[in-house]
């Protein structure tokens, strides 16, 4: 197997002295879909914005992001501009505000096509139409003249995807791409991402707070907490047999459509980045915390191929699902009309 497409090593990001990402390593191979799950403040978006150097200047970034022979964190800015939107596309949450309200769709797509494909004039229109067709926008020719406010949120996200595809990227980073959308539209967009991936063999990083979204659409999933990866595993394995107490906690906290069961909430809140607890950042909220957890920050260790975990007690813990579904009658009094 060839080396990874992109490799992040020892990435650290701090804002005004407060760490947001505290040492993160990732490797993504061609055509692979990596899901990144975490709650707010976990650093899941900041990691990728930092990798593309899209953070404001006050952010202090350390580490290495390798794409072929380039270290993206040190490459000249012209090189970065060539890669952004070219080999690496990115789409964001809330497509309505991620598109420029005063420019037509044509103009916004044309920028990417001119930059990365060297197109101009008529050939831009033709290619823009082809891309809008590809992402399933009806009346692509007419839509080129539209402004973002004349389209729905789902359509705007399709435009964002078309724009990201303009540079024929090897990697698409999708940062909470469906969070602002209705459920049925979310399903459409995730389906579209799968379709595009099948057709282009593009790698995908899907960042989401929703375990369900990530589980259904990715090969591999990494769970982040307080600026670090705490567990990484093939999607199925992660959900069937999580090894980190935080991952277990997230799964147990998630309501399902099956019969209701008592949700197991994780007590407490995410730590303040300026006042990180000693040792494992999750230990103050962890039911399994032991003295060992308060010493050093646990390293992300490889358990088996494709499986990494950062827990001092990983070897000894046997994390069972918190509760199996209770019979509906005893769980909740059903009121019948």
Minimum gap (Å) between residue 2 Cβ and another protein: 25
152: contact with another protein by CB under 8 A: yes
- In contact, 159 and 135? CB cutoff 8 Å: yes
Nearer to another protein (CB atom), residue 10 or residue 65: 65
Q: Which stretch binds another protein (CB under 8 A): 10-18, 76-84, 295-303, 309-317?
A: 76-84
Nearer to another protein (CB atom), residue 2 or residue 102: 102
Nearer to another protein (CB atom), residue 121 or residue 291: 121
Beta strands in the chain (DSSP E): 6-15, 18-28, 33-37, 59-67, 70-71, 88-91, 171-175, 203-208, 220-225, 228-234, 301-304, 307-309
Nearer to another protein (CB atom), residue 15 or residue 292: 15
Ramachandran assignment for 227, one of left (phi > 0), alpha (psi -120 to 50 degrees), beta (any other): left
Minimum gap (Å) between residue 206 Cβ and another protein: 12
Give 164's contacts (C-beta < 8 A, 6+ positions apart). Answer: 85, 89, 90, 91, 112, 172
Q: Which stretch binds another protein (CB under 8 A): 15-23, 73-81, 126-134, 312-320?
A: 73-81
Site track 258-277 with another protein (rule: CB under 8 A), x = hit = xxx-xxxxxx-xx-------
| Integer Cα distance of 130 and 141 in angstroms | 9
Site track 192-231 with another protein (rule: CB under 8 A), x = hit = -----------------xxxxx-xx---------------
Q: Give the residue, chosen from 40, 275, 318, 324, that forms a contact with another protein under the rule CB under 8 A.
A: 40
307: contact with another protein by CB under 8 A: no
- What is residue 1's three-state secondary structure? coil
User: Phi and psi (nearest 5°) for 56?
Assistant: -60, 160
Other CB atoms within 10 Å distance of the CB of residue 110: 22
Nearer to another protein (CB atom), residue 2 or residue 183: 183
Looking only at residues 83 through 142 of this chain, which bind another protein when binding is defined by CB under 8 A? 83-86, 89-90, 92-94, 97-104, 111-112, 115-116
Minimum gap (Å) between residue 239 Cβ and another protein: 4
| Integer Cα distance of 293 and 295 in angstroms | 6
Nearer to another protein (CB atom), residue 10 or residue 267: 267
Q: Give the residue, chosen from 17, 118, 121, 333, that forms a contact with another protein under the rule CB under 8 A.
A: 333
Instruction: Find where tokens 């379709």 sit.
Output: 195
Nearer to another protein (CB atom), residue 241 or residue 292: 241
| Integer Cα distance of 206 and 200 in angstroms | 16
Looking only at residues 310 through 329 of this chain, which bind another protein when binding is defined by CB under 8 A? 328
254: contact with another protein by CB under 8 A: yes
Q: Give the residue, chosen from 9, 25, 70, 81, that forms a contact with another protein under the rule CB under 8 A.
A: 81
| Integer Cα distance of 71 and 90 in angstroms | 19
- Check residue 201 and report its DSSP letter: -
Q: Give the residue, chosen from 47, 155, 157, 283, that forms a contact with another protein under the rule CB under 8 A.
A: 155
Nearer to another protein (CB atom), residue 315 or residue 325: 325
- In contact, 310 and 303? CB cutoff 8 Å: no
Nearer to another protein (CB atom), residue 241 or residue 295: 241
Give 328's contacts (C-beta < 8 A, 6+ positions apart). Answer: 259, 260, 334
């Amino acid at each position: 197997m060839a080396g990874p497409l992109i490799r992040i090593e020892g990435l650290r990001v701090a804002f005004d002295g407060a760490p947001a990402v505290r040492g993160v390593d990732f490797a993504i191979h061609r055509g692979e879909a990596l899901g990144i799950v975490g709650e707010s403040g976990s650093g899941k978006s900041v990691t990728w914005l930092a990798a593309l150097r899209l953070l404001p200047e006050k952010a202090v970034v350390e580490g290495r992001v390798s794409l072929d022979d380039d270290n993206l964190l040190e490459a000249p800015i012209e090189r970065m501009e060539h890669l952004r939107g070219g080999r690496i596309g990115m789409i964001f949450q809330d497509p309505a505000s991620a598109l420029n309200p005063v420019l037509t769709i044509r103009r916004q797509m044309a920028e990417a096509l001119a930059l990365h494909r060297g197109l101009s004039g008529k050939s831009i229109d033709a290619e823009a139409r082809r891309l809008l067709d590809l992402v399933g926008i009806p009346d692509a020719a007419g839509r080129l003249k539209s402004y973002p406010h004349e389209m729905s949120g789902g359509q705007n996200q399709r435009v964002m995807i078309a724009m990201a595809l303009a540079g024929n990227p090897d990697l698409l980073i999708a940062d909470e791409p469906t969070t602002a959308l209705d459920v049925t539209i979310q399903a459409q967009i995730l389906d579209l991402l799968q379709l595009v991936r099948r057709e282009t063999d593009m790698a995908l990083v899907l960042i989401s707070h929703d375990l369900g979204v990530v589980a259904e659409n990715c090969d591999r999933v990494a769970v982040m907490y307080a600026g670090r990866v705490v567990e990484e595993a093939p999607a199925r394995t992660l959900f069937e047999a999580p090894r980190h107490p935080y991952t277990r906690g997230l799964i147990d906290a998630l309501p399902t459509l099956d019969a209701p069961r008592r949700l197991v909430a994780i007590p407490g809140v995410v730590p303040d980045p300026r006042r990180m607890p000693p040792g494992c950042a999750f230990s103050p909220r962890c039911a399994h915390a032991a003295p060992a957890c308060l010493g050093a920050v646990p390293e992300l260790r490889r358990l088996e191929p494709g499986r990494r975990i950062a827990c001092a007690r990983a070897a000894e813990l046997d994390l069972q699902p918190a509760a199996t579904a209770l019979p509906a009658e005893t769980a909740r009094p059903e009121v019948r009309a």
